Amino acid sequence: AQSVAQPEDQVNVAEGNPLTVKCTYSVSGNPYLFWYVQYPNRGLQFLLKYITGDNLVKGSYGFEAEFNKSQTSFHLKKPSALVSDSALYFCAVRVPDSGGYQKVTFGTGTKLQVIP
C-alpha cells in the first residue's frame, strides 16, 4: 500500500523568509510525486510534479521541490514567501507501474500561513 505523510498541520513563516513544507512517502516501486495547492473556497490546483530525471523540480509561482529517494521525501520549498502563498498544500503520490488504475494517494494537507 502506498501512503503519504505531511507531518505538519500548519507552517508559519514571515513574509520574505524561505519556506519549506514537508512530505514523505511510502511506496513499492518508483513514485510519481505531486504538489497541489488549495486557496480558500477553491478546488486544488496543480503546482509541480516529479516523474524522473533531475531531483529538483520547479513549478508554478516560484515553488520548487526536491525528490530525495534515500529519505523518501519530496519537500516543497520557496526562497521568499509571499502573503499570497497562504493556502493549504497537499502532497500526492502515484505508482505508475502498479497496474490497473494507478491510484493517487493524497496527504492530509499542510496549512501555510505567511505573516506580513
> Binding residues for another protein, per CB under 8 A?
9, 32, 34, 36, 41-46, 49, 51, 90, 94, 101, 103-104, 106-109
What is the closest distance, in whole angstroms, from the C-beta atom of residue 14 to another protein in the complex? 25
Partners of 65 in the β-ladder: 57, 76
Least distance to another protein, CB of residue 38, Å: 8
> How crowded is residue 2: how many other Cβ atoms within 10 Å of its Cβ?
16
The least distance separating another protein from the CB of residue 72, rounded to whole angstroms, comes to 18
- β-partners of residue 75 are 66
Q: DSSP secondary-structure letter at 21?
A: E
Direct distance between the N- and C-terminal alpha carbons of the chain, in angstroms, rounded to an integer: 41
Q: Which is closer to another protein, CB of 38 or CB of 72?
A: 38
Interior angle at CA 38, CA 91 and CA 97, nearest 5: 30
CB of 100 to another protein, least distance (A): 9
